[in-house]
Amino acid sequence: MKIPQVDTSTYTSQIFWLLLCALVLLFFVKNVFIPRLLSIMDARDKRVLGDTARAQGIRASTQKLQTEYDEKIAENRDSAVQQQQAKLAEFDTIKEEQLAQMQKIFTRKRLALEKKSSLDLRVDRSFVDILLKP
């Protein structure tokens, strides 16, 4: 029993087929596989660069929107503070006017009571009612 790999008479045909298969494989790798891989890698690189540029554009627009939003919030906050201060000042003015009116009424009532020589219980009660009325 002879093994064909070790038979010296078939060495030339084995070498021929080895070279032929290697050359065919080399031809396919060089002309088919490598160009396909390179085109896939180029497409991938272009896509990555495009996605990166688009992401940077989105980031810039997002930062611009965030800045505008922060400015609007600051403006609204300032406006609210100004409105609050204006309302507080208006409230203080109204309060001072009402206090002055109440003091005038109180002074008139006190003077009227002091003029009366005798105070009875009904007068005291009506004075309290008058003071409690707005």
96 occurs within a structural domain: yes
pLDDT tens profile 58-72: 999 999 999 999 999
- Reported as type and span, the H/E element at residue 109 is helix 34-115
105 occurs within a structural domain: yes
| CA atoms of 114 and 127, how far apart (whole Å) | 12
Q: CB–CB of 67/92 below 8 Å?
A: no
Cα angle, residue 25 at apex, residues 21 and 30 outer, rounded to 5°: 150
Contacts of 109 (CB under 8 A, 6+ apart): 127, 130, 131
Higher pLDDT, 93 or 131: 93
17 occurs within a structural domain: yes
Contacts of 123 (CB under 8 A, 6+ apart): 113, 116
1 occurs within a structural domain: no
2 occurs within a structural domain: no
Owning domain of residue 18? 8-132
User: CA end-to-end span of the chain, whole Å?
Assistant: 131
45 occurs within a structural domain: yes
pLDDT tens profile 106-132: 888 878 777 764 455 455 556 666 666
67 occurs within a structural domain: yes
Q: Which amino acid is at 67?
A: T
Average pLDDT of the segment spanning 72-99: 93
Task: State the total domains in the chain.
Answer: 1
DSSP SS3 for 120: coil
Higher pLDDT, 103 or 116: 103
97 occurs within a structural domain: yes
